[in-house]
Amino acid sequence: MERMLALIGFGEAGSTFARAAGWEAGAQAFDIAPARRAAIEEAGVVACASARDALISADLVLSLVTADSALAVAEDYAGWLREGALFCDMNSVAPQTKRAAAHAVEAAGGRYVDVAVLAPVHPARLKVPLLVSGPAAPEAAQALGEAGFVNVRVVGDEVGRASAIKMIRSVMVKGVEALTAEMMLAATRAGVVEEVLASLDASEKTDSWLSRAAYNIERMTTHGLRRAAEMEESARTLEDLGVEPLMTRGTVARQRAQAGQTIPFTAISREPAQ
């Protein structure tokens, strides 16, 4: 790898990528936690004593820190970037947070890139899907490919677009996890786990999400009030079992809000699945 690569943050993602790619002396890393220095050295990567040392000679930067520190890292470290360095913000934060970070990086002469990591880094490692957006996205995609990432896709020239895809997708992915927990807590306390799961298996469909989204929205538009009333009874059921219906109350509110509404989702306004 000809480019000098810097990793800011060397937690699970950074260490996984470094070991899989074999960057070794072609990369240098800094983590605010001194205990991570050992992991950096074990991966063969140059361990730096400061963020400045890691960034000052880097052409490609991967920011892999915690979500609550992503903006501060961009703002505090931008002044140490080389002119024209690609700053790939791979943190899971909102589009507006990435736009604020981009402002700091670009004001300092760097090139900011919004990167969304769409799956856990284990076991995908360098095959993990990456979406990139921003004015420098094509150059960043090429640089990430040269660094060993094999599943990189440019989704636009606007900072925030890649992160919007991930954040909105997470509404479903993380929401299903939360709904699953709420359902399983109640099913376990009611002693009906096997029956509930068997019923779900029997009703599972293999339609594309385009069809499923259109169908789900149409059902809410047509039957939202009735379904809201039914879900209020579901909420009472959970309460009787000692399970707080956090997600179910939200379902009641969303069903009621969509009832009778003209479907505003033009991208899915095809004939609903039967």
Q: pLDDT tens-digit profile of 152-164?
A: 999 999 999 999 9
What confidence tier does 218 reach under pLDDT thresholds 50, 70, 90?
confident
What confidence tier does 263 reach under pLDDT thresholds 50, 70, 90?
low
Terminal-to-terminal C-alpha distance of the chain: 52
pLDDT for res 273: 41
What does pLDDT average to over the chain?
Answer: 91
CA distance 85 to 136: 10
pLDDT for res 46: 97
Q: Report the chain's C-alpha Rg in angstroms.
A: 23
* Structural contact between residues 16 and 121, judged by C-beta atoms closer than 8 angstroms: yes
Mark residue 243 as left, alpha or beta (left: phi above 0; alpha: psi -120 to 50; beta: remaining): beta
pTM confidence score: 0.84
For 44-95, how does the pLDDT look when each residue is reduced to its tens digit (9 = 90+)? Answer: 999 999 999 999 999 999 999 999 999 999 999 999 999 999 999 999 999 9
pLDDT at 130 over 70: yes
DSSP state of 262: P
Tokens of 137: 């996205």
